[in-house]
Amino acid sequence: MRHLCVYCGSGPGRNPAYIEAARTLGAVMADRGIGLVYGGGGLGLMGEVARAVIAGGGHVVGIIPEFLVNKERMLTDVNELIVTASMHERKMTMFERSDGFVALPGGLGTLEELVEISTWAQLGRHAKPIIICDIDNYWAPLLTLINHMRQEKFIREGIDLRLEVVKKPADVVSVFEDRLQHSTANVPADPIRKTL
């Protein structure tokens, strides 16, 4: 079974579209037989995507550091629950258990995870798909910043930073599956490919 790591907020955000996107993504993942790797919490978008996968009969791996077990209300009815000693161990375990990554809306933690996994890809440490689910243009400021970094030559030509951007959560799994089927070894770097 392939597993997709979902980075997202432990809160609901103010836009109801964010919660709906988490539920839709979880339902589509379960329907297509894609397992979920996520931060292990039961609150916010994290809880919604996990519960949607579970409701659809899908496989869920929750990975949470010990100090967040109570704060993020660890979800115990997942298939696998891994409690780590630190955030660093959590992120590495999420990386090892995942075949790709997607970011739904979220806060600093979500941003940090997305940037770190993108940096690892840029440095050639992995070639797993990285997808940004840009619900109601939530990630537009980040995409603008990345393009600015490229224009200012801090993301230089020849450095592979390939991010897939979709607007609809239902498209995430299709892009994920497509990327897994096609080797990226000989594909020229495409800084941001938008799938509308």
Q: What is the pLDDT of residues 86-100, one digit of tens each?
A: 999 999 999 999 999
What are the structural domains of the chain? 3-195 (3.40.50.450)
What pLDDT does residue 112 have? 97
> Which of the four pLDDT bands, split at 50, 70 and 90, describes residue 188?
very low
Give the mean pLDDT of 102-127.
95
Burial class (CB in 10 A: 0-12, 13-18, 19+), 87: middle
Indicate the pTM of the whole model: 0.90
Q: With 90 as the cut, is the pLDDT of residue 13 above it?
A: yes
What pLDDT does residue 31 have? 98
